[in-house]
Amino acid sequence: MAANAEALQTRAPNTKDRLMAAAREIMTERNAVEFSLQDVAARSGLNSALVKYHFGNKDGLLLAILERDAETSLKQVEKLLAREMPATQKLSLHMAGIIETYFRKPYMNRLVHMLVHERGDEAAQQVSRFFVEPLARFQRQMLEEGVKSGEFKEVDPGFFYHAVGSACDALFRWHPESRRIWGVATINDAQRRRYADFVVDLVLNGLVKR
């Protein structure tokens, strides 16, 4: 089996990226993190045995997807932190960025929760290392900057992490309800921007000093 997989890899040098791209497409279309390796094989046009060859198993594939997505997102947050601007503006851009990420990748937050809570200690430790801990650290730094500049009240950074993460994902996690709220089946970019404005305003009203 390994020899066959290696031969297939030789003919397809971008195999790992193709497998991850196929899984991302499926999760985005279904607005869910459940899929089979046969689904990925059919979408990518590759042998499902290559998932085991490259990632070990399905959880390995999911971890690789999340780590790649997290790396991209965290680089953006790090660049934002380095910019010279008021903490209020910085945090507003950060929250709007989270919402845009979940709009483009609606599976991402659910993938974090599934891997942390349902896939054992090793997966949970990996996700914490490459995503949860760095993001929480960046957010704590933003809050500390705001308190130091006199813009923010003192708040628990752990509470902030959970509350803001849940609020940013809520629209996309429960998107089937959008038909009842807006009379549409899917969330479009204009609604994403309106929701970002709403969440930013909601959070800052509770955070910014008056």
Average pLDDT (57-76) is 96
Per-residue model confidence (pLDDT) at position 132: 95
* 166 pLDDT tier (thresholds 50, 70, 90): confident
Nearest to 49 by CA among 17, 6, 13: 6
Residues 161, 200 within the same domain: yes
Residues 71, 45 within the same domain: no
Residues 131, 177 within the same domain: yes
How many angstroms separate the CA atoms of 153 and 24, rounded? 39
> ∠173-136-191 over CA atoms, to 5°?
30
Residues 41, 80 within the same domain: no
Q: Which domain range does residue 100 map to? A: 65-207
| Residue with more model confidence, 80 or 198 | 80
Lowest-pLDDT choice from 36-45, 68-77, 186-195? 186-195
Residues 3, 76 within the same domain: no
* 191 pLDDT tier (thresholds 50, 70, 90): confident
How many angstroms separate the CA atoms of 187 and 175, rounded? 7
Residues 152, 84 within the same domain: yes
Residues 43, 129 within the same domain: no
Residues 72, 149 within the same domain: yes
Highest mean pLDDT among 82-86, 103-107, 182-186, 195-199: 82-86
In this structure, the dihedral spanned by the alpha carbons of residues 195, 149, 210 and 98, taken in order and rounded to 10 degrees, is: 10
Residues 30, 92 within the same domain: no
* 52 pLDDT tier (thresholds 50, 70, 90): very high
Average pLDDT (150-157) is 93
Supply the CATH number for residue 87's domain.
1.10.357.10
Per-residue model confidence (pLDDT) at position 174: 62
Q: Which spans in the chain are helix H? A: 2-11, 15-30, 37-44, 49-55, 58-82, 87-104, 108-118, 120-127, 133-148, 157-173, 178-182, 189-207
Q: What is the largest CA-CA distance in the chain?
A: 66
Residues 91, 16 within the same domain: no
Per-residue model confidence (pLDDT) at position 8: 44
* 176 pLDDT tier (thresholds 50, 70, 90): low
Per-residue model confidence (pLDDT) at position 179: 56
Residues 139, 184 within the same domain: yes
Tokens of 208: 């910014």
Check whether 2 has a pLDDT greater than 50: no
Q: How many domains does the chain have?
A: 2
| Residue with more model confidence, 123 or 209 | 123
Check whether 180 has a pLDDT greater than 90: no
How many angstroms separate the CA atoms of 207 and 143, rounded? 9
